[in-house]
Chains A and B, each alone.
Chain A
C-alpha cells in the first residue's frame, strides 16, 4: 500500500479511461441488480436463501455507514452495533410495552440515535481521529451492559413478541415479505450515499481524509462535516436495527455487542472500504463464510466455540496488508470507469465579489510574530498590500516565508501582532473564515485529493460559493448548483491551460501541473487576494512564462497577489514590490530594482566577505 495512506481505503489512482458510455453501462448494471433483487423472493428459491439475503441487506446498511465514515472521511467506529441496538430496542420496547406503531417507533429510534451520535461526535471529533474509535468501543460496551441489566428491557433475555411490520394492508411477517423493506432501505441508502459523494458536501467529506488544513482553507468546517458523517452512519445503523427487530420479532443484547461492532467494520474492510457497493460485497462474504465456519471449525477442532473470529481476525489483517481496497475493485473492474458528462456549458455563471479599486489598502500585516517554544520563526514582521498589486516575499530557506503565509491565512495561530483585511481585523479568525472573506491560497507542499479528478479538486475551491447541504445532495436537488460550480471550475482550469486534463485523477499529474491545479482551485474561490507559495516550482521555462502571463492577467482584473518564490527572474519581472525576509525578520522592502541593488539582500543570500 502507498506510504502513509490516510485511510485503509483511500482508493488508488485509477486511469480515466472509459468513454461517456461508461455511465450508461453502470446505470444499466445497477438497474439489472435492482430488478434481480426485486424478483428474488418471487422465484422458487429456498426460504433459507431469502433469510440469508435479509441478513445481508441488514448488515450492508450498517457497513455502508462505515464506508462513509472510514473509507471516505478517514474516521472509524467500532460501536455501530450499539446504534443498531438503539434502533432495535426503541421499536421493540415501544411496540410491545406501549403498543405504538412501528413506523412511529422508527422516528423515535432515529431521534435517539441522532442525539447519542451528536453527543459522542461533539465530544470526540475535535480531537485526533483515533479518539472516536476508542470512545465508540467504550460506549458500545457501556450501552450493552446497560441493556443487559435493565429490568424494563428484559435484561439478558431481551424483549420477545415484537409485532411484525405492516403497511397499507400488506403484512411483512414472512421472510419473503420483509425482504422488500430491508432491501429497499439498503438500496435507497446506497443510492443516497452515492449521490452524496458526488456533490459539494461530498467533496468536502472526501477532503477530510488526510488532514484538515486544506479543507479548512477552502472554507469548509471540517468538524461539522465529521459530526455529520458520524450521524449519518449511526442513522443507517439505526434503520438496520429497526428492521432487524421486526424481522427477528425478538431482541436481546448479544447482537449489539462489541463483537458485532467489530464485525461490521470487518465487512466494510473486506468488501472495500472506499466503495459503497463494497458494503454489500463485504456483508455477503462475511455472512456466508461465517455460517460455513461455524459448522466447519468446531468439527475440525472438536469443541464448540466462537472459532470463526480467529479466521476473521486474520483475514482482516491480511486484507489491510495485501488488498487494502477490499473485494469491490475486483468486481468493479469489469465495468468501465464512469466519466462525468459535460452538461454545464450553459449554466449561469456564479456571482462574483466586488474587487477593490487599484491602490486602495487591502491587507495590512502589523508586527506579526510566531514562536515555537523558544524559536522565533516570524519576528514582528510588517508589510502591506494594496489593491491590484503583486508583492513578492523572498528570502533564503528557513527565513519564515511560509510561516508568514500561514499566519496571514489563519492556518497557524499568531503569538502576537495583527492582520487587517479591507479594514476588518482578521487576526483571530480561523482559516475557513478568512477564506470566506476572499483570501485564497496554495500550499508549499501540494494538498489535494489524489483519487478525485482534477475538475472535482478544483471545484472544491468553489465550495464557499455554493450552498447545497447533505440532504439536497442525497436527493439530487443540487444539480443546477453543481453545474454552476463545475462551469466555474472548468473556466479556471482553462485559464491556466489544463482544461484537457480535467477528467484525469489528480494523483496522476506531475508536480508542476499539480501546483497549477492548486492555483485554479484557489481562483475558484473568487479571491480578492491570492497567496501563492512557490507557484513556479517544478514548472518548465515556457510553463513559467505562461504562468506569469496568467498572473499579470489576474492583476489586470483587480486581484492582488502575494507570492513566495525562489525563481528570481520570475519574481523580479512580475512583482511591483518585494519584501525580503531573513531569520524571521523583515530585512527590507522595495521595488525589484531596489532589492537587487541592496548589499544587505546580497549578504543574506550569498554571505559576506570578512
Chain B
C-alpha cells in the first residue's frame, strides 16, 4: 500500500464515518432522553434511500402507504383511548388531526408530485418529510406506554420494532436494491487525492447538522427541555416538561437524522430494504464507544469505525464486517477499564 491508496481509504473511511457519526448521535440522543436503545435506527436510512430511489423512477414510493398506515393505526388507537376515557369530542378530533394532518398532507403531495419527476432537491425534501414522521409514530405505537419500563424491556421492544419494520420494509419496497445518483458530480483533485462532490456533500451536511444540533440544544427552549429530560425525567416533568412530548420530539429528530443519512449514503452504495440494520449497528459500535452518553465521543468513535471499515475492506474484504463488529470487544474492554459504572436500577 502506498500513500495515495492510504489517502483514498482514509477519505472513504471519513466519509462513511461521517454517516455513522450522524447515526451514533441519534442513538445517543434517544438513549439519553427516552432510555430506549434504538436498534432500528438504521431502518430509516434504508427507507429514505429507497424512497428517493423510487422518486427517481417517477413512482410513488411505498413509504407513502407505510406512513399512512402507521398514522391511521395511531389515530385509531388514540380514538379508542379517547372513547374509553370519554374525552370531549372536540379534543379527540383535535388529537386525531394532529396525528393525521402532516402525514396525509405530505403523502398527498408525494402522490401528486412523484409522476412529474420533480428536481432532485425537491425529491430529497419530500423524502425527509416522508421519513421523519415515522419517528413519532413508532414512539407512539411501540414505546410511549412503556415509558416506565426498564432499559432491558425497552431494548427487547426495540428489537421487536426492528423485526416489524424490516418485514414491512420488504412488503412496501420489495426486495429490489437501489443505488441513487450523486447529488453533485464534481470532482476535485488535491495532490494525488481525488475528492468527489458526494463526499464534500456528506462532510458538509454532517457538519451542518452537528452545528444545528448544537445550536438546538444550547440556544432553544425545546433543546434545553430535552437536555433536562435526559438528566432527570421526573425532575423535568415537575418543571412542566412532558416526557411524552420530549420522547416524541427526540424520536422525530432521530428519524430525521436517519433519513438524512439515507440520502447521503444512497449514492455511495446499493441499499436494500434490510441494509439499514448493519449500517445502524455500525452507528451503535460508535455509540457504545461513547458509553451511549457523549456526542463528541460518539463522533470520534464513528470516524474510527469508518476508517477501520475502509482499511479492512482493502486488506481482507471478505472479513470486513467481521472485523468491524469484533472491534466492539476492545472498545468495551477499554470502557470497562475506563469507566465501569455498574447499574443500579
Contact = CB atoms under 8 A, between A and B. Distances in A.
**Residue of B156, B285, B343 with most partner-chain A CB within 10 A:** B156
A514 to B, nearest CB: 19
A38 interface: no
Contact of A146 (B322, B333, B341, B343): B322
A590 B171 CA distance: 77
Interface stretch (A166-174, A317-325, A492-500, A576-584): A317-325
A131 B343 CA distance: 11
Contacts of A310: 163-164, 167-168, 171
A119 B288 CA distance: 18
A6 interface: yes
Contact of B152 (A6, A127, A315, A321): A6
B196 interface: no
Contacts of A211: 343-345
Interface string A142-166: 1101100100000000000000000
B151 to A, nearest CB: 5
A8 B152 contact: yes
A307 B318 contact: no
B345 A127 contact: no
A310 to B, nearest CB: 3
B281 A138 contact: yes
Contact of B171 (A119, A307, A315): A307
Given A4-B149, A134-B284, A139 B167 contact: no
B149 A1 contact: yes
Interface stretch (B101-109, B111-119, B247-255, B324-332): B324-332
A335 interface: no
Given A130-B155, A145-B319, A313-B162, A305 B326 contact: no
A506 to B, nearest CB: 18
Interface stretch (A70-78, A374-382, A460-468): A70-78
A547 B142 CA distance: 48
Interface string B141-167: 010011011111101110111111111
Given A74-B152, A130-B155, A265-B156, A210 B164 contact: no
A133 interface: yes
B343 A141 contact: no
A312 B152 contact: no
Given A262-B163, A265-B159, A312-B163, A123 B325 contact: no
Contact of A213 (B159, B160, B165, B344): B344
Contacts of B342: 126-128, 212, 222
Contacts of A556: none
Contact of A303 (B145, B146, B149, B174): B174
A569 to B, nearest CB: 34
Interface in B283-333: 284-285, 288, 292, 318-319, 321-323, 325-326, 328-329, 332-333
Interface string A294-338: 000000010101111111111111001100100000000000000
B218 to A, nearest CB: 22
B161 A317 contact: yes
A5 B341 contact: no
B76 interface: no
Contacts of A539: none
A309 B152 contact: no
A3 interface: yes
A409 to B, nearest CB: 15
A8 to B, nearest CB: 5
Given A134-B284, A141-B281, A313-B161, A127 B142 contact: no
A129 interface: yes
B332 A320 contact: no
B37 interface: yes
Contacts of B163: 262, 309-310, 312-313, 316
Given A139-B329, A210-B345, A303-B174, A7 B152 contact: yes
Given A123-B329, A141-B281, A142-B326, A134 B167 contact: no
Contact of B340 (A127, A130, A266, A316): A127
A211 B278 CA distance: 32
A144 to B, nearest CB: 8
Contacts of A313: 159-167
A211 B344 CA distance: 4
A137 interface: yes
Given A8-B152, A126-B336, A134-B284, A142 B174 contact: no
A127 B174 contact: no
Contacts of A269: 156
A267 B59 CA distance: 39
A128 B343 contact: yes
A135 interface: yes
A320 B336 contact: no
B89 interface: no
A221 interface: no
A134 B157 contact: no
Given A313-B164, A320-B160, 17 more contacts: A3-B148, A4-B149, A6-B152, A6-B345, A120-B329, A127-B332, A130-B151, A134-B328, A141-B321, A141-B325, A149-B318, A262-B163, A266-B160, A305-B170, A309-B166, A314-B160, A317-B164
Closest 3 CB pairs of A and B: A313-B163, A313-B164, A316-B160
8 contacts: A3-B148, A4-B148, A76-B156, A119-B329, A127-B340, A142-B326, A211-B343, A317-B161
Interface of B: 37, 39, 142, 145-146, 148-153, 155-157, 159-168, 170-171, 174-175, 278, 281, 284-285, 288, 292, 318-319, 321-323, 325-326, 328-329, 332-333, 335-336, 340-345
